[in-house]
Each structure stands twice: as C-alpha cells, then as structure tokens.
A and B are shown apart, each in its own frame.
Chain A
Amino acid sequence: MLATTFRRYATAGVALAALALFTTACAGDRDPETAPSDAPPSSATGSTSEPTTTSPTPTLDPGSWESKFSAAQLEDYEAALQRWESYESRSEPIWAKGKATPAAEKLFKEFFPHPAWMDYWERLQGYGQINVRVSGTPTVYWSKAKSVGASGRSVQVQQCVDYTRVQRTQDGNEISRPAPKPQLRTIFLSQPEGYGWLIYGVKELVDGKPKPCAS
C-alpha cells in the first residue's frame, strides 16, 4: 500500500516536471503577431543594412510614403538619415569599448543637443563602471520619412530594426534579454540655425516595450 502511494506521488512529480519543462520551453515564444511579413525584401529608400537572418524580412513599399513628400523634402530626409547613420557607425566602437573617454564625450556633443548628450555620456559612464559592452549595430530593414518640416530643418525618420546581432555583454558574459524581433524606432533630427543635423531624440519603447514593425 505504501509502495503504491509513493509510486503515485512519483508519477505526479514526473508529470509536473514535464509540464514545467514544456512551459519553460515555450516562455520565449511570445507575440506571434510581431513576426515579420512574408514579403520579399524590397529596395526601400534609406535601407542601410542587409538583414543577416534567413527568415522573412519586413519590407516597405517606397511608393507608399515617398509620394507624400516633395523632392526637396526627400533630400532633407536623406541628409538627416545620413547624419543618423554616421552617429550609429561612429558611436559603435565607443559602446563596444565601454570607456567614457573625452573623445566619446566630444562625439555625443557633436551629434546631440543639450541635455540629450549628457544622458548618453552618463549611460556610457555607467556601462564603464559595471563593465557593460555593446557591440554591433541593429539590422535596418527599412527606413522612411515619418515627417519633414516645411523648411526641411526637422525630420522624423522611422525605421524597422532588429537588434538580434547587437551583442550586449557584462564582464564578457552575454546579458540575458528577450529575443529581439523587428521593431520600430523613430529618430527626431533637427537642424537649428547655424548648426548641422542634431539628434534630438530616439524613440524606441512604447510603454516600456518595443513596438513591433508589423503592427
């Protein structure tokens, strides 16, 4: 009788353990609605990076948004986008080294207005203190102009990006994070009188979460 009882407990335990394993394995499969569309890649204006994954990639029909802007506005958009791309490529080695150097401070001041540059600078200082490194840049699936000011001095660039290939480590170990999926980011650039293009803000999280490209 006692043996039967223990067998029953053991069976229940195994079943629960299996259930636990199943649940754990499925924990990362969230938000199926955020999956990229099945359409093949197109030559979206401003796309800068070739996707590294073989999965279907989000695409954008250039005609669907370019027609909303004049040729001059599209030129302004391209100039603003190039400025952003310049920042992203020039700052990558800085984040990869994770050292708050005078050169890094100078770069932030070059690309951001006050007080935004201070935030990037202090974040880099913080990363340096806890030995966090960020290497690589996100895959850009597409870029488009979300808005272009009448004078062409203010541009909002919207991109669909994927942070999968961006590595984040602490003390050499990869930092755990949710599996990246294609997400939207909006970059606010302005060109004040007497200045080049400055990055006034980059919006990527909505209510603390990334916004999928597909939605």
Chain B
Amino acid sequence: MRVLDRLVVGALIATLLALLPAPAHAGEYPNCGEGETPSPFPEGGGVCIPAVDPGQDPDPGGEAPDDGGTTPGATACYDASGAEIPCTNADGGVWNAGHQCYAYPLVPQPPADSAYWEGHDPSEGNVWTCDRSVAIPGNTWFVPGGEAPPDPGQIAQTIVESMPLVKPTVNMAPRPPLMTYVGLPTWLWMGENQWSNVTGSATIGDTTVTVVAEPIRVTWDMGDGMETCTSAGRKWQQGMSSDEQTDCSYAFQHVSDFEPDGVFKVTAVISYAVNWTCSGTCLSAAGTLGEVPGFTSDATTIQVGERQSVVIR
C-alpha cells in the first residue's frame, strides 16, 4: 500500500507541477517559429514578427568591406559552416566573414571626435556595423579605405527632379473651337506616346541608380470640375459613330458663359509611380519614391453651351 501511496502522490505532484504556469522572467519572449524573428520589448518580453526575406542580390559578387575577414573582389561568400551565401543582401548589407554577418556602413558617418572611430582618422575609412537596430561604439568597427556608398534614395530623388516627365497635350472632342454642351460626354485624351514609362539613371562611384516612373493616373482640371482617368484616353477620329465609347471623358455641369472670355480652361497632369533599383555598391537594392506628379499641360480653352430639348407634336 505504501508503494501505491508514493506512486499516487508522485503522480499528483507531477500533474500539479505540469499545470503550474511558467514564471515570467524579464527579457523572456516566445520562441519564434520558422519565418519569424523576435522583436523584444525594452522592458522585457516581446513578440515574434514575420521575418523580412532578405532575398538574393542579383549580383552576388559584391565587394565586402575589407577588415581582414573578407577578400575584396571575391566572387563568392561563405558562412562559418562553409556554405556559399550571397555576398550582399536585399538591404544592401555586405557579407563580412570576420563578423559573420551582413554589414552596413553608417550613413551619415558619425562625427570625427565620436567614440565610433576608435582613434582612426575619418578621412581614411568608414565605420560599419552589423547591428541595424543599435549602432553604438562596441558593435561598430572601422573599415579602412573607400568612401561610404551614397544613399540611393537621395540619388533617385535627384534623378526624378531632372527626368523628362511628360507635359501632356490636351485633346478634346468636340474639338475647340467647336463648342461642347452641358451633360455631353466630352472625350479627353493626350498626345500619342505620352502615356509611357519614363526612365533615368545616374552613377556615382560604384553605385548606379535607375529610376522608372510609370504613369498611373491623369488628372484633368476641366474648369468646372476634375476628372481622373487611368489611361491616356481614346483619340476621337472623324467618322466615328456616336456609339463609340471611351474610358476618359467628362460631362460639363455648367455653361461657360460666366467664365472669363466665356470659356473654361482645361489642363491635365500625369501622376507617376516612381520606383528605383540600385546596382553596384548599394545601401539598398530597391525602393520607391511614391507618387510623383509630372508637368502640368498648357491650358486649352473650350466653350460650353447648353442644348434645349424641343418636343415636337
């Protein structure tokens, strides 16, 4: 019976211990599964967030910072196990064999008298880090030679500012100086080939940034309202029947009699989705500048009249 006593009490203890909640320890957070990465809270605890896929750089032969742990100009990079890995990641990190991590130069570089430099002359190199969240003296190091690569986003911005974004040509049917009428769908379209991608690129040192501006919308200011179209519009050609359709038209709501010179001024502007890619030595492989407006067209005027219905019996 004593044996049975011990067995039962032992089982009870084991059951109760298993039921006890694990005590909370500061800094503890759940073990993250595959495809997740821990995001600790500063006060302890944390969550697992979806890991960002670093992707693979199309040019795996990127040159890593030479701090003794890498071979400049290497065409392949290897981790500690000897497995071949991309030399750069999608964020522009460059594999550093010495630190076994993807490294990044600080941009901008810290001031000359800061502890990051560890006594080195800033003119002779750059400060790099592997820890993207906290770049502090102790987890950064000096890499002699070269300049930190420029910010490709800033280069992209500069490119866009000088890119030949389109100033559309305004076309309407009925074609001015013919009059259009209240409630009548007036066809709108721009010049041929004006609805097309615009590209530009620039190279600074080993960094080449290519910008592509893709038209996504044209906003027509019709004088008595706005119309937004997602295409160049369809050109109206003489001889078309009244059954023909267009995906870009506008029906005026008011006559233009009370406007200056008795006409509405019509302008159009194309909005572009602007994205960039970087090749060579890059802080980031790609990025976006969001929506950027092109140039506003010259104004075209149109007279809007009104038709009266006459019922004939």
A166 to nearest B CB, angstroms?
Answer: 8
B34 at the A interface (CB under 8 A): no
Give the total number of A-B pairs whose CB atoms are below 8 A apart.
Answer: 179
Segment from A52-60, A64-72, A82-90, A195-203 that makes contact with B: A195-203
A94 at the B interface (CB under 8 A): no
Option from A17, A150, A178, A198 in Cβ contact (under 8 Å) with B45? A178
A97 at the B interface (CB under 8 A): no
Q: How large is the interface on A (under 10, 10 to 19, 20 to 34, 35 or more residues)?
A: 35 or more
Q: A177-B45, A195-B108, A201-B135 are in contact. Are A153 and B113 (CB under 8 A)?
A: yes
How long is the Cα–Cα vector from A153 to B114 in the complex, in angstroms?
A: 8
B49 to nearest A CB, angstroms?
Answer: 3
Q: Mark A14-41, 1 if CB is under 8 A from B, else 0.
A: 0011011001100110110000000000
B66 at the A interface (CB under 8 A): no
How long is the Cα–Cα vector from A165 to B288 in the complex, in angstroms?
A: 36
Q: Mark B41-73, 1 if CB is under 8 A from A, else 0.
A: 111111111101000000000000000000000
Do A16 and B136 touch across chains, with their CB atoms under 8 A apart?
Answer: no
B206 to nearest A CB, angstroms?
Answer: 17
Option from A12, A175, A194, A202 in Cβ contact (under 8 Å) with B9? A12
How long is the Cα–Cα vector from A9 to B26 in the complex, in angstroms?
A: 37
Do A154 and B42 touch across chains, with their CB atoms under 8 A apart?
Answer: no
Do B26 and A30 touch across chains, with their CB atoms under 8 A apart?
Answer: yes
B84 at the A interface (CB under 8 A): no
If over half of A's interface residues share one DSSP class (helix, strand or loop), that class is named, otherwise mixed; here it is mixed
Do B108 and A116 touch across chains, with their CB atoms under 8 A apart?
Answer: no
Do A151 and B111 touch across chains, with their CB atoms under 8 A apart?
Answer: yes
| Chain A residues within an 8 Å CB radius of B129 | 115
Which A residues from 151 to 200 make CB contacts under 8 A with B?
Answer: 151, 153-154, 163, 166, 168, 170, 175-181, 183, 185, 188, 190-195, 198, 200
Which B residues from 21 to 35 make CB contacts under 8 A with A?
Answer: 21, 23-28
How long is the Cα–Cα vector from A191 to B49 in the complex, in angstroms?
A: 32
How long is the Cα–Cα vector from A150 to B114 in the complex, in angstroms?
A: 9
If over half of B's interface residues share one DSSP class (helix, strand or loop), that class is named, otherwise mixed; here it is loop
Option from B13, B28, B47, B136 in Cβ contact (under 8 Å) with A178? B28
Option from A27, A175, A192 in Cβ contact (under 8 Å) with B111? A192
How long is the Cα–Cα vector from A109 to B151 in the complex, in angstroms?
A: 11
Do A178 and B44 touch across chains, with their CB atoms under 8 A apart?
Answer: yes
B1 at the A interface (CB under 8 A): yes
Do B50 and A209 touch across chains, with their CB atoms under 8 A apart?
Answer: no
A92 at the B interface (CB under 8 A): no
B106 at the A interface (CB under 8 A): yes
Option from B5, B13, B110 in Cβ contact (under 8 Å) with A154? B110
Option from B16, B111, B132, B153 in Cβ contact (under 8 Å) with A16? B16
Closest B residue to A27 by CB, please name it.
Answer: B23
Do B290 and A102 touch across chains, with their CB atoms under 8 A apart?
Answer: yes
Apart from A27-B21, A28-B24, A149-B113, list 13 A-B contacts with CB within 8 A. Answer: A114-B104, A115-B107, A127-B39, A132-B49, A149-B114, A153-B114, A154-B110, A170-B47, A178-B27, A180-B43, A180-B44, A191-B111, A192-B109
- For this complex, 25 residue pairs linking A to B, each with C-beta atoms less than 8 Å apart, are A27-B23, A27-B24, A113-B107, A115-B132, A126-B49, A126-B50, A127-B39, A127-B47, A132-B49, A149-B113, A149-B115, A176-B45, A177-B24, A178-B44, A178-B45, A180-B43, A190-B111, A191-B111, A201-B136, A204-B42, A204-B43, A205-B42, A208-B27, A209-B27, A210-B42
